[in-house]
Structure 1
């Protein structure tokens, strides 16, 4: 099969990936009928105090004015769970009830909790952490109540432990639901068609990089290097059902620190933008690990020689690099190019990516 030209990867402007998960703290009041949500409503997990309370209003002012956080209201609402800890009014006494805080997050992350709800706990835990940090660092509590100040400071340790356990639990649930959500790991046929149609050309390039007649990455046609890059991005997003943010933020350190498994390896991507509190496990078969390794050793170094600017020094640490020598900002554009080359343009793949 003669390969048509693939459009080069141009640097994409960085864009903020907004999560589609809505806050479970609906201002209209809970109206859910599922057994889990009814139970949680009875427990008062959806109730919240007014953000006009002085304790929360001070936190809002800190986020909005001092930090310039444009989503400060949502962040304060994520802390308004304090009603669960004390129905009367917001207080800092929850730092003395670690068991109750742990219970709150355990209920939210139980296996049968609705996915949107359990995944939102990441926002709640980050909000709680920011709130306690604000109290300890940016208020005069240390002069007004030294004992409570000390308890707030000491609470940070147990909270880190709760967040770590919760992150692992939610990430496992997310992976399972994402896998089973499309019929045990199967996407719409139009989405997966690209993996089969591009495979022959992709493997042909892979063979050029192996064996006694292997050629260096810089002797490959640019079109071949792009095919490998785009195909590996498709493996992560379409085959392994990971968010595009995993591609943009996966680091060299995470690749080199991959864990060997019985069937291949697993790469733990810790700081991906769309789910910063969760570790994304990227499981690769032995063949896929070989592909990624060949890209890393032979193609990525050539990509890094692109005409990047000083502002793109972060590219050195990123695993996926564009031909301009910069980090990948929008892998969906790369999948668009790959899809347009091998399949008559079909909108379903892009609808899927937007939903993810």
Structure 2
């Protein structure tokens, strides 16, 4: 695990992990809770080295990669199962988004009372509401979009009157209305949510009764200023201006309602989920400033960093910190975008060429650093999907390997560069024939050539053989394939064969099962049945 970087973990003193430990020890009465928490701390570090977060529930591929890596480094099935069990306990028994709905549930009674005051038989107009009542309606509707409909604060802040007026009815399943927020600056796609008819009534009551009253309080800074320069925002603060920070409004709702009905542990976890702490909401720190900047200027592959005036208006005195961090996150995002070369490490020249094609003129990743940071990506069973991997197999130009004389073995294969765990080394190349034909060829050959036969079972459980007894295969005349020269070792094996398919033809790839150093011999375990060169064949459907 150390060679794969899987021993790194977050501090178990982090509030999220402390809350998980409390849940295990007190609620589940788990005596071994310390090990469970450490398992989760390592998992969360793999998912996000910066800080523990519950956002991993949206990262299915990354989660699968973690557990596959645990298997690849040689952990037993029971150990991997224990890691999965620990994460499952966290997701099932710890904080869920529905727990954050406690904020809505706690405020629901007071909110409905205000709505009834505006829509009931003896209804009043919006200007008769007190300031706390108007703010409750505003904060609650913002919370509905963030907590119940799972939209980012930026969507709430940039929703316009036009977006609301263009809502469309949907008559299925009890009736809904669909609202599309076209320009929310948090992503390229349109944000869409479907309100129930009751929710639509709430929003429309706010729009027709509460919003006009708060909008009337707006003070113009310049005589005759043009209100049409910016789209008219749907949500208006008590000052009459568009809301500034939906996350802060959510925190205010949380403080004023949910804190009265929650335990200390639940309150702490909800506050963490809302990305605020109840002790620091009054004064913006660097993290809060950066979160706020990202709502208006999200980090993307091709976007330019926000200008200084734009940063100062949002991040205040933290503008320089936010600028450096924004550029750093963008460069890391670009590095991750470049690191798409599957299960075979790319050369510097290849990475440099690929980066140049992106058209980036500033904040460009260094090709050498990208290669240094490269790790095999994707699941092992999808290795053949890489176009470059298919080229290696078809052209038989495997780099980083050399055939050398080995005392007492004839020839062997040695690494001329380091290989990482999970990386594809090469294939066992030859003519695929039936087991019967393989046995006949084996009997008819003499000397060393009789050893170059790989017996296996295909995906249909049919016994097959890769016949590589000739120095040169029929499909690559004049070229010696290197996989056939890999020697056997049951104790020092550092690669393992796995069966794939390419153009309806079986392909056997050797994948590193541990880190391989320069000048280290490549070895794999032939298996007990390999002694006869014609046994039932190796089990290639591992992992």
TM-score of the two chains, using structure 1 as the length reference = 0.46
More helix as a share of residues: 1
- The structure with the larger Rg is 2
- Higher RCO (C-alpha 8 Å, min separation 6): 1
TM-score of the two chains, using structure 2 as the length reference = 0.31
